Amino acid sequence: MIPLLAQASTDGLTVEPHWYMALAAVLFAIGAAGLLLRRNALVMFMSIELMLNAVNLTFVAVDSGLGSLEGQISVLFVMVVAAAEVTVGLAIIVAVFRKRATASVDELAGMRG
Amino acid sequence: MDFLIFLIVALPLAGFLELLFFGKRIGEPGAGYVASATVGISFVLALIAGFDFLQGGEHGRTVELFAWIPSLGLNATFLWDPLSAMMTLVVTGVGALIHIYSIGYMHGDPGFGRFFTYMNLFITSMLLLVLGANFGILFVGWELVGLSSYLLISFWFEKPSAAAAGKKAFVVNRIGDFGFLIALMLIFNSFGSLDYGSVFEGAEATLTAGTATAIALLLLVGAAGKSAQLPLYVWLPDAMEGPTPVSALIHAATMVTAGVYMVARTGALFELSSVAGAVVTTVGALTAFYAATIAIGQRDIKRVLAYSTISQLGYMFMGVGALALVGGVFHLVTHAFFKALLFLGAGSVIHAMAGEQDMGKMGGLRKKVPVTFATMVIAWIAISGIPPFAGFWSKDEILASVFNRGGGYIVLWAVGIVTAGLTAFYMSRMMFLTFWGEPRWDDGVVPHESPRSMTVPLLALAGLSAVGGLINTPWRPALEHFLEPSFELVDQTHLPEAGVQVALAAVSIAAGVIGLLVAYRRYVSRATQLEEGGRWDTLLAGYHVDDLYGRTIVAPGKAAADVMAFTADAKLVDGAVNGMGGLVNWAGRILSKLQTGMVRSYGLGILGGVVGVVVWLLVAGGGF
């Protein structure tokens, strides 16, 4: 039994460790699908955040199962880097939108293979 | 003492370097003074350093300068023994006289400084060659001599014939050098060392007869290239394109004597192979005879002397081949005297005739250039083998030693005697056509005697040609005594007993006198003019050997080079390189199609990649 999850089991509902993994996988899949299917840069950005958080969830779940801290530290790093990334990314998107009046990545494609 | 020996080489080298960088600024005549002084001082130093050897029995010393190629045990070492001392004296002594003469001869030439730069390089190379204590230094000197001869022969490079002659000399020498290089590899393979000492002392115990023959014959190939023996002699007549002092230097004091010196130095190897010795002697005898016949038909005064040099070198090869090493070196020395004199004399005549070299346009010069004439007469008698002048003693020592070997060598002796007659004939022909008879000068040519800087070296060389032979007479063999320590490992061929010697000498003097008389009758009594047509043209063209080589060797060589250059190189090598470039270019063009600029397709690619890796890990990695 994972100590951190012990409280959840008081009212008889048991949360198995692999449920966290399954949830993370689903979140990751949603994020990936959003990234590939949507054209709006802002939405794609949100999808990426979703995928990052799916990974964070995996880290925390597996870490508490193993009783170690490294994974949780990694999560902090991921969150810090993601925050920085969002700042820069949003700034770019806003700047591009001002210039080209669109946020659709397909219309922004400049390379011609 | 060691420093003295180092200085002998270092001085001409310093002169070379100084002239190389400041030659133009020093200009005329300073450059000539610098060059002559360095060589002259080297000569004096060599005299001082060589004084010990006069007592005899002194083995000399090695002077180690620095470790050169430690992995081969090869050091930059000089050997100062009687043989190298003898050679050094000849090189620097005759070289210095030629340098002084050149100050006058090259007067007014725009390349005055450059000329003396090359001349000093030549002397330096030759000194390295004769002073090296191992085959490595010998080889360096050997190659540098080839280089400097190329530079000097094509000194007037704006003249196409001179440029071609320089190239020819270089290429033909390279052929010889190739054989020499293989010989060096064989020597190193057999002895694990290139030092003279360990090679010669270990030769008898280490080498099988087959290896000894192979090494000796390959050395002969190298020597034949440098010393212009059959079949590699063709570069030497063309080398006359260079300034006349260069011809004198190449033919008398340096370069061509390198091969003879090398064979004499490696006598211990030739001793082990009777085949190689016989081959060397035969090559020498044939070259002597063959070149003498060509010399008869030449019109150009310098070409007569060129073929004469080849012929005389043949004598030296006969000597060293028959293991009469002292005789060979002796002839080398006397020949250096009288041939340098002949060339410088010819240069003086050409100078007097305002550049004319054709004997058909000379004649009657006796009174016009008295000093040149008088000195050349001495050289003429010396080379014709009339006692007591220098050539007689050395040539007869060689011939008598060859005769004394007996057997087939007696045939070679006979060839040598016939050649002696021919030599007297063609030299007399040259002298009579140049100095006797009616003037056949071109209009406007006013012959005049040369300046003193040219006549003084002539007089000095004339003195040496007259008495130089007395250093080694049968009853007082001073040179043999002097050189003994250098040749003590070799069982030399000695002279026959006195009675036979006198008889042989009589035969050879008779041959010389007959040659002289026939020439006198023909060119003075009957006043025959320069011959033309028929067989004379064949002789003039040197039996058309150049054409023959051109067709059989040069043309196929050029064709092969064309194939290599325009097919193998341009298509294969360049093709491979260009092909690689083309391949990358093509791949880039195909792969650049992937860069659509569509962010989502990149994302799909990444996702696909991740899925692929995960699947591969699950399948191949046996799960997590």
Q: What is the pLDDT of residues B161-206, one digit of tens each?
A: 899 999 999 999 998 999 999 999 999 998 888 888 888 888 888 8
pLDDT at A5 over 60: no
Instruction: Give the pLDDT band of residue A11 (cuts 50, 70, 90).
Output: low
3-state secondary structure of A35: helix
SS3 at position B303: helix
Q: Which H or E run includes B77?
A: strand B74-80
Q: Which residues of B83-105 are buried (b: 16+ CB within 10 A; e: fewer)?
A: bbbbbbbbbbbbbbbbbbbbbbb
Residues whose CB is less than 8 angstroms from the CB of residue A97 and which lie 6 or more positions away in sequence, other chains included? A103
Residue A35 to residue B600, Cβ atoms within 8 A: yes
Phi first, then psi: give them for residue B207, nearest 5 degrees. -85, 140
Task: State which residue of chain B sits closest to A112, comparing Cα positions.
Answer: B596
Q: What is the pLDDT of residue B528?
A: 75
> Average per-residue pLDDT in chain B?
88
Q: Residues B381-406: what's their mean pLDDT?
A: 88
Percentage of chain B beyond pLDDT 90 is 32
Cβ contact A36–B598 (<8 Å) = no
Taking an 8 Å cut-off on Cβ atoms, the answer to whether A35 and B592 are in contact is no
Angle at B418 between CA B472 and CA B403, to 5 degrees: 50
Measured distance CA(B419)–CA(B415) in Å, rounded: 6
Q: How many CB pairs under 8 A join A and B?
A: 32
Tell me what the pLDDT averaged over chain A comes to.
Answer: 84
Find chain A residues with C-beta within 8 A of B597's C-beta.
109-113
Q: Is B411 in CB contact (< 8 Å) with chain A? A: no
Residue A6 is predicted with a pLDDT of 46
Kindly determine whether residue A112 and residue B597, on different chains, have CB atoms separated by under 8 Å.
yes
d(CA B412, CA B408): 7
Q: Using CA atoms, how far apart are residues B122 and B141, in angstroms rounded to an integer? A: 9
- DSSP H helical segments within B297-324, as ranges? 301-321
How far is CA B93 from its chain centroid?
Answer: 17
Helix H, strand E, coil C: the string for B353-397 is CCCCCEHHHCCCCCCCCHHHHHHHHHHHHHHCCCCCCHHHHHHHH
**DSSP symbols for B267-282:** HHHHHT-HHHHHHHHH
R_g (Cα) of chain B, nearest Å: 30
Cβ of A105 and B598 within 8 Å?
yes
Lowest mean pLDDT among A47-61, A89-103, B141-155, B352-366: B352-366
The one-letter amino acid code at B577 reads V
DSSP label at B553?
I
DSSP B81: S
Q: Which tokens hold the place of B467?
A: 């008495």
Q: Mean pLDDT across the stretch A82-96? A: 92
**pLDDT for residue B279 is more than 50:** yes
- Shortest CA distance from A111: residue in chain B: B597
User: Per the omega criterion (within 30 degrees of 0), is the bond before B388 cis?
Assistant: yes
**Predicted interface score ipTM higher than 0.85:** no
Judge if the upstream peptide bond of residue B29 is cis by omega within 30 degrees of 0: yes
* Number of separate helices (H) and strands (E) present in chain B: 25, 2
At residue B292, the pLDDT reads 92
Secondary structure class of A112 (helix, strand, coil): coil
pLDDT of residue B117: 92
Contact between B170 and B241 (Cβ < 8 Å): no
Tens of pLDDT, residue by residue over B562-575, are: 999 888 888 888 98
Place of tokens 């007696």: B410
Whether A32 and B611 have beta carbons less than 8 Å apart is answered as no
C-beta of residue A53 within 8 angstroms of C-beta of residue B621:
no
Nearest-CA distance A53 → chain B (Å): 17
pLDDT recorded at residue B586: 94
pLDDT tens per residue, range B299-314: 888 889 999 999 999 9
Name the band, by pLDDT with cuts 50, 70 and 90, for residue A1.
Answer: very low
Is the Cβ pair A39, B597 closer than 8 Å? no
The answer to whether the CB of B297 falls within 8 A of the CB of B233 is no
Facing B597 at nearest CB: one of A35, A37, A111: A111
In this structure, is the dihedral angle defined by the CA atoms of residues B308, B313, B318 and B323, taken in order, positive or negative? Answer: positive
B403-423 confidence digits (pLDDT tens): 988 888 899 999 999 999 999
Residue with token string 């001002």: A98
Q: Would you mind telling me the total number of residues written for chain B in this entry?
A: 624
Q: Which residue of A has its CA nearest to B610?
A: A32
pLDDT tens digits, residue range B88-116? 999 999 899 889 888 888 888 888 889 99
Query: pLDDT by residue (tens digit) across B191-201?
Result: 888 888 888 88
Contact flag B598-A109 (C-beta cutoff 8 Å): yes
Nearest to B250 by CA among B233, B264, B236: B236
pLDDT value at residue B106: 85
Read off the tokens for B445.
Answer: 């040519």
Region B393-398: what's the mean pLDDT?
Answer: 89
Q: How confident is the model over A33-63, as pLDDT tens digits?
A: 998 888 888 898 899 999 999 999 999 988 8
CB within 8 Å of chain A, chain B residues 565-594: 592-594
